[in-house]
């Protein structure tokens, strides 16, 4: 019983895999359609095209055109109300050919079984995330990112769960599970537990964040290993980008995960048959489900595959940070409420009122809006005047606008009413603190890791900044704690955690590419990190910068 | 020559037997029932509750094999496992791993299926209060000489049984339903078997006579399932019913096994939970009650060529009870059963709470001390 106990089927699968080892130029659409039809699936294709806002240097694409191919295995006796998806991204070259071969082999095996109660959709998407976005938008009849795609001819009911495969070599020693999705959304913990349980049952080595589990929890090294794994997850979640094709399913409330095969040159190797059995088991379990996965946590952090930290544990830590802001705001409120001592000439200070803070607020948000819009708008002009590529132009414009914002307090003093008053900066700081508290709270609810990292860096500065602290030192500290520098340090920290430390120059280039990827993610998939930082966090930080340089 | 001897022997044997027919005619009515009914209910739906359907069908199979016809069985199954899309062997329900025993078979007659299995329908079946349009196969047409077997399985808790994932029947409702049956003379004796978690709580509240109850687990214990089948992917049977089925496989219509053997089915070593039973409301000695009195439809038949004179009332042969000390009277309907004498219920141990006044007084004292120490003027700051 089970996949490929039949030697004929095993041979057929090996044939497929060896065939796919040959390099393919572009996506072999006709061959895929023919092969899937030969296996008895209903095959459809979808064309899509998209012009990126600026060229993507990491993946070397600018005007993307592609075709998704998907085959639907209809459940023999069930109504077509629910579906499961198994997908493998197909890129030119031999990046993921093993996964496509395994997918086709599984399709053939699944077709011969009668116990499927849900349709199974085998999807081979072109240009990984862009193709997946096009397919999902076509499937759910939404168009949030302005992509151009042809409507889907065949559908399979509401998707209950999805798995994405990435297998690059035919020698696999361990399977890695990737959970982090778009905007830091995670699938239900039951899916991760299911994967781990099956790995243990079949005897395949499983990892998360590429790290193996250790058994010595009590020792210092074991504990630090677990902390490192959890910090990697925090970093990945905070970036808000989908770390696998599964990341785009999550916003449609479809539990999805990516399974990557890793070759780490161990002695014990797993073959395709075992991976096939693992996937077969997972799909049978998902088939037996009667509802969507919802019994376990949606918000968690995993120090290892068998341990998790739930929201009930980590949220109070964030809550305590937010309370600092609220307490400081309360303190300022009390200070503002007590009447100020009269000045020497007997004229009481003009009570500025809340409207005086409107000017710094508007100016900060205008700067934020400039940071959001200018880099994309003026890339052509930048390319004309400077010898840089479009991507570099965008990134450097962003950094330039960011740095220009630092000069604001010197130039906008004329416009500030209530200048020179002690009350003025207090009111501004009160508003800024409450604004930051609400902002961080909302961010932490959606993407806890991002909210927590921002809170860690912004709350100390926000709480202690006043015009009376030593200017140079606190200016330096505030710049170090600003979102851009946090991102720079995070890049270096992330590389350290992955045990691939980079030199400063490489790190700087990586930092620039991270900014460009963040902007691209926003335009391509709707990631919220870039608009959040540019339109909300950066203006908030600018307010505190204004307070520091209050005259 | 030999045939003559044989014939003579045979004739004397018959003659001797014939002389006792009239005496043994009294034995025919010793058990008090003339027909048998069975109400078998599975209350769970969904694929992962396959084992409850398999439980019910196993008992159905045994009961049919021992003689109760489909017309006297009310079978209620809340979900269709045989034709479920996930069943890798369609049209079968297996009760043993390696698919040895298909309890679905060709001649299963399900009376209440799917969403028709509700608490309301179950109680209506028991009490007989069905709309006039209900077909005969859906009715429990028992009379006061019927022995009824009621088997329930599903998910339960302390004092309730869950129907269809949306409603529950409580032990009080069940006890009242049985009382209604007694007052409407709808049963002679009733055997109630329940295989759920904390099953013993369901028979705690019975108060009608002639009820015997068995449960697969005590209050606070869970009934466990027996074995998963790796090809089908679900658990196939619950432990208690599995061993009950094994026990019933050895019973044939002429077997003399009695209820005491049934109480020994599935001890704690096999069942992990402790099966329980209740016989205080049952007026015969359980040792004298045959299994086939409830599980089979056994007609007492004795072939004779003699003519029996039935003009005189037959003297019932009363079986002496085994212990011989208490001789329970046979109560008929009109006699009110002295329930309080029969039911011995252990007084429930209540958790001790301090009296209410004490807590109020304690808090008043605390508040008084607080305000005295800090002064009343601080009240302003609080409010």
- Residues from chain A that touch B82, judged by Cβ atoms under 8 A, are none
Distances (CA, A) of A289 to A75, A112, A191, A284, B233: 14, 20, 12, 9, 12
Q: Which range in B171-175, B334-338, B366-370 is most confidently predicted, on average pLDDT?
A: B171-175
Write the pLDDT tens digit of every residue in B106-116. Answer: 889 999 999 99
Sheet of strand B146-153: strand arrangement = B112-113, B73-77, B35-42, B146-153, B189-195, B211-215, B276-278
Residue B87 has what pLDDT? 92
CA A116 to chain B, closest CA, distance in angstroms equals: 6
Residue B4 has what pLDDT? 65
Q: Are A115 and B85 within 8 A, CB to CB?
A: yes
Q: Please, what sign has the CA dihedral across residues B280, B282, B285, B287?
A: negative
User: Residues A383, A506: one domain?
Assistant: yes
Q: Are A287 and B84 within 8 A, CB to CB?
A: no
Residue B352 has what pLDDT? 72
User: Residues A410, A525: one domain?
Assistant: yes
User: Residues A482, A520: one domain?
Assistant: yes
User: Residues A393, A510: one domain?
Assistant: yes
User: Residues A142, A270: one domain?
Assistant: yes
Question: Is B86 within 8 Å of chain A by CB?
Answer: yes
Write the pLDDT tens digit of every residue in B97-153. Answer: 666 788 898 889 999 999 999 999 999 999 999 999 999 999 999 998 899 999 999
Whether residue A532 lies inside any domain: the answer is yes
Does residue B45 register a pLDDT over 80? yes
Cβ pairs bridging A and B (under 8 Å): 29
User: Residues A273, A359: one domain?
Assistant: no
What percent of chain B stands above pLDDT 90? 45
Whether residue A541 lies inside any domain: the answer is yes
Q: Are B90 and A77 within 8 A, CB to CB?
A: yes
Whether residue A262 lies inside any domain: the answer is yes
User: Residues A178, A260: one domain?
Assistant: yes
Where residue A91 falls among pLDDT bands split at 50, 70, 90? confident
Write the pLDDT tens digit of every residue in A327-367. Answer: 999 999 998 888 766 555 444 455 556 677 788 889 899 99
Where residue A25 falls among pLDDT bands split at 50, 70, 90? very low
Look up residue A125 and give its DSSP letter. E
Q: Is B277 a catalytic residue?
A: no
Lookup: tokens for A491: 């890049």
Residue A247 has what pLDDT? 94
Whether residue A147 lies inside any domain: the answer is yes
CA B238 to chain A, closest CA, distance in angstroms equals: 20
Whether residue A282 lies inside any domain: the answer is yes
**Marked catalytic residue, from B42, B197, B266, B271:** B197
* Interacting residues of A551 by C-beta distance below 8 A, sequence separation 6+: A413, A419, A420, A467
User: Residues A420, A496: one domain?
Assistant: yes
DSSP A427-473: HHHHHHHHHHHHHHHHHHHH-HHHHHHHHHHHHHHHHH--TTS-HHH
Rounded Cα distance between B152 and B135, Å, is: 22
CB-CB: which of B47, B88, B230 is closest to A290? B47
Average pLDDT over residues B77-102: 86
Counting beta carbons within 10 angstroms of the beta carbon of residue A48, is it exposed (0 to 12), middle (13 to 18) or buried (19 or more)? buried
Does residue A420 register a pLDDT over 70? no
Range of the domain at A115: 24-215+240-293
- Residues from chain A that touch B87, judged by Cβ atoms under 8 A, are 115
Domains of chain B with bracketed CATH:
33-295 (3.40.50.1460)
Whether residue A166 lies inside any domain: the answer is yes
Q: Are A114 and B90 within 8 A, CB to CB?
A: yes
- Residues from chain A that touch B88, judged by Cβ atoms under 8 A, are 113-115
Supply angle C-alpha B66, B70, B72, rounded to 5: 85
Whether residue A285 lies inside any domain: the answer is yes
- Residues from chain A that touch B90, judged by Cβ atoms under 8 A, are 77, 114
Query: Which of B49, B50, B86, B89 would best serve as a mutation to test chain A binding (most A beta carbons within 10 A)?
Result: B86
Q: Is B155 a catalytic residue?
A: yes
Rounded Cα distance between A298 and A170, Å, is: 33
Whether residue A301 lies inside any domain: the answer is no
Tell me which chain B residue has its CA closest to the CA of residue A74: B85
User: Residues A244, A322: one domain?
Assistant: no
Interface of A with B (CB under 8 A): 1, 75-78, 113-117, 284, 287-288, 290
Task: Tell whether pTM > 0.90.
Answer: no
Residue A171 has what pLDDT? 83
Residues 118-177 of B with CB under 8 A from A: none
Does residue A96 register a pLDDT over 60? yes
Q: Are B88 and A1 within 8 A, CB to CB?
A: no
Backbone angles phi, psi at B193, to 5 degrees: -120, 135
Question: Is B216 within 8 Å of chain A by CB?
Answer: no
CB-CB: which of A75, A77, A284 is closest to B233? A284
User: Residues A180, A327: one domain?
Assistant: no
- How many structural domains is chain A composed of? 2
CB-CB: which of B47, B230, B231 is closest to A288? B47
User: Residues A401, A287: one domain?
Assistant: no
Average pLDDT over residues A260-273: 86
Backbone angles phi, psi at B172, to 5 degrees: -70, -40
Question: In CATH, what number is assigned to the domain containing residue A176?
Answer: 3.40.630.10
User: Residues A106, A41: one domain?
Assistant: yes
Tell me which chain B residue has its CA closest to the CA of residue A288: B86
């Amino acid at each position: 019983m089970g996949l490929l106990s039949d030697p004929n089927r095993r041979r057929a699968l090996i044939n497929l895999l060896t065939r796919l080892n040959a390099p393919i130029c572009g996506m072999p659409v006709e061959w895929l359609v023919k092969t899937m039809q030969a296996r008895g699936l209903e095959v459809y294709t979808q064309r899509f095209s998209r012009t990126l806002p600026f060229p993507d240097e990491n993946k070397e694409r600018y005007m993307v055109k592609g075709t998704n191919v998907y085959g639907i295995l209809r459940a023999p006796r069930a109504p077509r109300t629910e579906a499961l998806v198994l997908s493998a991204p197909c890129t030119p070259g031999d990046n993921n050919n093993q996964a496509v071969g395994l997918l086709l082999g599984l399709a053939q095996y699944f077709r011969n079984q009668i116990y499927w109660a849900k349709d199974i959709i085998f999807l081979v998407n072109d240009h990984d995330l862009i193709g997946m976005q096009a397919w999902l938008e076509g499937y759910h009849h939404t168009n949030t990112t302005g992509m151009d795609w042809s409507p889907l001819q065949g559908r399979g009911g509401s998707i209950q769960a999805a798995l994405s495969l990435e297998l690059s070599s035919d020698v696999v020693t361990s399977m890695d599970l990737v959970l982090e999705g778009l905007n830091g959304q995670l699938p239900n913990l039951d899916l991760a537990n299911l994967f781990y349980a099956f790995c243990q049952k079949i005897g395949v080595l499983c990892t998360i964040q590429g790290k193996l589990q250790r058994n010595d929890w009590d020792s210092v090294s074991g504990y630090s290993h677990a902390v490192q794994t959890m910090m990697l997850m925090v970093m990945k979640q905070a970036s808000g980008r989908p770390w696998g094709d599964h990341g785009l399913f999550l916003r449609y409330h479809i539990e999805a995960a990516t399974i990557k095969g890793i070759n780490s040159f161990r002695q014990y190797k797993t073959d395709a048959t075992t991976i096939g059995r693992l996937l077969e088991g997972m799909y049978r379990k998902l088939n037996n489900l009667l509802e969507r996965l919802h019994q376990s946590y949606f918000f968690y952090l995993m120090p290892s595959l068998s341990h998790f930290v739930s929201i009930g544990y980590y949220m109070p830590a964030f809550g305590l940070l937010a309370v600092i802001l609220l307490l400081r705001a309360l303190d300022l409120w009390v200070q503002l409420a007590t009447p100020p001592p009269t000045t020497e000439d007997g004229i009481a200070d003009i009570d500025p009122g809340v409207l005086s803070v409107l000017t710094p607020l508007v100016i900060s948000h205008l700067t934020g809006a400039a940071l959001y819009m200018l880099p994309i708008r003026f890339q052509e002009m930048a390319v004309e005047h400077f010898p840089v590529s479009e991507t570099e132009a965008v990134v450097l414009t962003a950094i330039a606008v960011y740095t220009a914002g630092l000069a604001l307090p010197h130039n906008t003093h004329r416009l500030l009413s209530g200048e020179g008053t002690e009350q003025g900066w207090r009111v501004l700081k009160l508003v800024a603190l409450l604004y930051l508290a609400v902002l961080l709270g909302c961010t932490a609810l959606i993407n806890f890791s991002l909210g927590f990292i921002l809170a860690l860096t912004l709350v100390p500065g926000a709480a202690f900044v006043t015009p009376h602290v030593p200017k140079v030192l606190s200016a330096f500290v505030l710049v170090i704690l600003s979102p851009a520098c946090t991102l720079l340090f995070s890049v270096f920290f992330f590389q350290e955690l992955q045990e691939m430390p980079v030199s400063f120059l490489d790190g700087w280039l990586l930092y620039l590419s991270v900014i460009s990827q963040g902007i691209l993610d926003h335009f391509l998939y709707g990631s919220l990190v870039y608009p959040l930082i540019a339109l909300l966090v950066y203006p908030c930080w600018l307010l505190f910068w204004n307070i520091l340089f209050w005259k | 020559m030999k045939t003559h001897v044989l014939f003579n022997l045979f004739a004397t044997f018959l003659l001797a037997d014939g002389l006792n027919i009239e005496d043994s005619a009294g034995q025919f009515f010793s058990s008090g029932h003339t027909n048998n009914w069975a109400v078998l209910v599975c209350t769970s739906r969904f694929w992962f509750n396959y084992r409850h359907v398999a439980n019910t069908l196993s008992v159905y199979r045994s009961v049919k094999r021992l003689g109760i016809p489909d017309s006297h069985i009310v079978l209620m199954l809340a979900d269709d496992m045989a034709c479920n899309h996930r069943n890798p062997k369609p049209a079968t329900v297996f009760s043993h791993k390696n698919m040895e025993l298909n309890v679905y078979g060709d001649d299963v007659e399900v009376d209440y299926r799917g969403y028709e299995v509700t608490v309301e329908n179950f109680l209506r079946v028991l009490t007989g209060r069905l709309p006039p349009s209900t077909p005969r196969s859906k009715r429990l047409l028992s009379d006061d000489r019927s022995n009824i077997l009621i088997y329930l399985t599903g998910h339960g808790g302390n004092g309730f049984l869950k129907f269809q994932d949306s409603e529950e029947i409580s032990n009080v409702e069940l006890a009242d339903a049985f009382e209604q049956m007694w007052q409407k003379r709808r049963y002679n004796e009733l055997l109630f078997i329940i295989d759920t978690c904390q099953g013993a709580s369901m028979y705690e509240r019975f108060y009608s006579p002639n009820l015997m109850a068995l449960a697969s687990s005590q209050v606070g214990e869970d009934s466990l399932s027996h074995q998963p089948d790796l090809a089908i992917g679900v658990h196939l049977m619950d432990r208690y019913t599995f061993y009950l089925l094994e026990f019933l496989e050895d019973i044939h219509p002429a077997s003399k096994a009695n209820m005491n053997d049934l109480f020994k089915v599935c001890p704690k070593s096999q069942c992990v939970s402790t099966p329980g039973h209740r016989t205080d409301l049952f007026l015969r000695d359980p040792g004298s009650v045959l299994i086939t009195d409830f599980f089979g439809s056994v007609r007492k038949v004795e072939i004779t060529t003699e003519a029996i004179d039935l003009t005189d009332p037959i003297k019932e042969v009363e079986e002496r009870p085994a212990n011989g000390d208490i001789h329970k009277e046979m109560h008929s309907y009109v006699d009110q059963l002295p329930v309080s004498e029969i039911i011995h219920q252990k007084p429930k141990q209540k958790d001790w709470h301090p009296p209410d006044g004490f807590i109020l007084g304690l808090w008043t004292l605390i508040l008084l001390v607080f305000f005295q120490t800090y002064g009343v003027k601080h009240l302003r700051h609080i409010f």
